[in-house]
Amino acid sequence: MARGLHLLGLVAIGAATTIAIERPSPAADPIPIKFVMDWAWEGTQASWAVASDSGCYAKAGLDVKTDRGFGSGDAIGKVVGGAYDIGVADFSTVVNYNSSHPNAKLITVFIVSDRALTSAVAMKKAGVLKPKDLDGKRIAGVQADASRTLFPAFAKANGIDLNSINWVSVAPNLRQTTVFQGQADAAVGHLNTVVTGLHKIGVKDEEMTIMPYADFGVRIYGNSVIVKPDWAATHAEIVRSFVKCAIAGIKGTIRDHEGAIATMQKFSSMVDRKSEMDALAFSTTRAVYTDDVKKNGLSEVTADRLDKSLTQIADAMGFPKPAASEVWTSAYLPPQKERMIGN
């Protein structure tokens, strides 16, 4: 048995198999857990700094080492390969990964972002004032980026002729510049990244048409906590504790944006306070603390919305729609009342 764990009991898995569930022993040394975020220490990651600095992990008997990631695909690969126990990745990217890796699937156990920030951002001078105006336009996009792979769902929901789109494939660091220089009429990508990037090179809000997919018929969940199903099943109490701390981190960040950014600066000296305050405010209002979360609490996944999301993802990416149980489980969530922001 691993150091610092003791048996909680035997739990039935499927029809016949039983496994030993383990949990941290209060008197034992902290259990080391390796956690990889989806990106660098930026405003959108502040809740992980708060979760760690608050002492929540330590109280749960966990020694969580948090590392930056390099995108959802990177985080997925590191969790699948066993280099990390827990990660964060875009929900649609996880679903896409599972479709092509039926023998090495991941499961999402907590929804960080109630709304994915996939988006299309266009220049008004190109005549784009609404989604349908993208017909026949040049769109800058990064290959395999979630906003590009989900664009067919956005197009279907808004009557856009996919065959008329002229894609301009670019590297991530050239996407906004390509639009600014007139080599493309619009760009698809993470809403905050694209808008902030255009701001930095002189484009004003009134010059853009901002079209979050979630506002135009594609309400897919965003960043999610991912684990390997077998690992989660044998470390159930650890996963539950981690999720509780994730919730505590989000609540703390919502209560005190300035304090959250100050805490994050302990983890990275490269954090620019002003820009990351803006990024945190943006992601909080647009993705995390949505009207649904205000009403129902964090990670309250509904069957109807999940089913529609899986339909849209599968249709857009061209694979059979998976069963909801293959990509999502609520087994490790605390009660709903503990997930309400005010509690």
Average pLDDT rounded to a whole number, residues 54-80: 95
pLDDT of residue 202 exceeding 70, the answer is yes
So what's the pLDDT on residue 18? 43
> 3 pLDDT exceeds 60?
no
Domain ranges of the chain: 5-114+221-339, 118-215
pLDDT tens per residue, range 287-328? 999 999 999 999 999 999 999 999 999 999 999 999 999 999
- pLDDT above 50: residue 220: yes
Mean pLDDT of the chain: 91
Specify the pTM: 0.86
Closest CA to 75 of 56, 88, 91: 88
Q: What is the pLDDT of residue 27?
A: 56
Helix ranges (H only) for the chain are 46-53, 56-59, 72-80, 91-100, 146-149, 151-158, 175-180, 191-200, 229-234, 236-255, 257-264, 273-283, 291-296, 303-317
pLDDT at 4: 42
Taking only the tens place, the pLDDT of each residue in 235-278 is 999 999 999 999 999 999 999 999 999 999 999 988 889 889 98
CATH class given for the domain over 5-114+221-339 = alpha beta
Residue 77 pLDDT > 50: yes
pLDDT for res 26:
52
Class of domain 118-215: alpha beta
CB 264 within 8 A of CB 45: yes
Q: Do the first three CATH levels of 5-114+221-339 and 118-215 match, i.e. the same topology?
A: yes
Work out the pLDDT band at 19, boundaries 50, 70, 90: very low
